[in-house]
Amino acid sequence: MERPSFHLSNEEIHRFLDQGYLGPFTLCEPDEMAHYRKKVEEMIDLTVERSNTLQNRHLDCRPAYELCTHPALLDRMESILGKNLVLWRSYFFVKYPGSKAVPWHQDINYWPIEPPLNISAWVALDEAIIENSCVQVIPGSHRNMVPHLKSEGTVFREEADPAFYDSSKAIPMELKAGQFFLFSERILHYSAPNSSNKRRLGLAVRVTAPFVKVYQKNDPHNNVLLVRGEDEMKLNTVGTPPLG
Ligand SMILES: O=C(O)CCC(=O)C(=O)O
């Protein structure tokens, strides 16, 4: 039986290009996500909020790989980036009660990719709502690059210069467990300190095209994965998925 297609309509593609984000969409229902969450909790230490051990676990944790390569994500990314897709990074963003803000920022400010092209999916493993600090975005903010300054009191070292954005235009991306949204490498986004008593766990999935060079930091295990189509460019070291 043919699997369902999740490709975007022309209207959705234009909305993504115009607004810099799109969604929410459903990857799976909350009860199926509860299974993924349990497996991820068994395999990954989520007690530390910022750690290399939360990065690129799609390379050695099969449930993380399955989430990162789910057709609900990749079909939609393919509609925008074309048929050849490279998964070059992922990160588990966990926020416990009392955790600090992720400051307003544009991801491309920090990233070692050239040319600067990426679509991220932020996948909710826990429900992510305003109360437990869901991600917020400023629609259309991907159209300008914003300088970044040193950040104090947040979980990042740098943040977007507040003179260059209006946070009153922010939209909270509230997601049920199993939902996700897509966003550009340049959209301004943020999450507030978590003042609720609920954890918020999400997986950020970073996908680009094979003509983008990823400048990895001398890490032989930090390979990219070709997750759709062909890689005629061979700019990056391509790894293999974890066994199921
Ligand atoms: O999960 C968060 O709070 C921030 C996510 C983020 O900055 C990202 O996915 O690029």
Q: Which residue segments constitute the domains of the chain, with CATH numbers given?
A: 17-214 (2.60.120.620)
176 alpha carbon – ligand 1 mean position (Å): 16
226 alpha carbon – ligand 1 mean position (Å): 23
With cut-offs at 50, 70 and 90, classify the pLDDT of residue 221: low
Asked whether the predicted pLDDT for residue 4 surpasses 70, the reply is yes
pLDDT tens per residue, range 71-129: 999 999 999 999 999 999 999 999 999 999 999 999 999 999 999 999 999 999 999 99
User: Ligand 1 pocket: which of 96, 102, 201 to mutate (most atoms <8 Å of CB)?
Assistant: 102
pTM of the model: 0.97
Does ligand 1 lie within 6 Å of residue 93's CB atom? Answer: yes
Torsion of CA 118, 169, 146, 205, to 10 degrees: -20
139 alpha carbon – ligand 1 mean position (Å): 16
DSSP at 109: G
- In whole angstroms, what is the distance from residue 150 CA to residue 42 CA? 36
Which atom of ligand 1 lies nearest, measured to the CA of 134?
Answer: 3
pLDDT tens per residue, range 102-112: 999 999 999 99
With cut-offs at 50, 70 and 90, classify the pLDDT of residue 59: very high
Sequence-distant (6+) residues with CB within 8 A of 220 are none
26 alpha carbon – ligand 1 mean position (Å): 18
Distance of CA 36 to the CA centre of its chain: 17
Strand blocks (E) in 27-166: 85-95, 102-105, 113-114, 119-124, 136-137, 148-150, 158-160
User: DSSP alpha helices (H): ranges in the chain?
Assistant: 10-19, 30-43, 62-68, 71-81
Q: In what order do the strands lie in the sheet with 136-137?
A: 102-105, 189-191, 136-137, 171-172
Q: Is the peptide bond before 24 cis (omega within 30 degrees of 0)?
A: yes
- In whole angstroms, what is the distance from residue 149 CA to residue 106 CA? 12
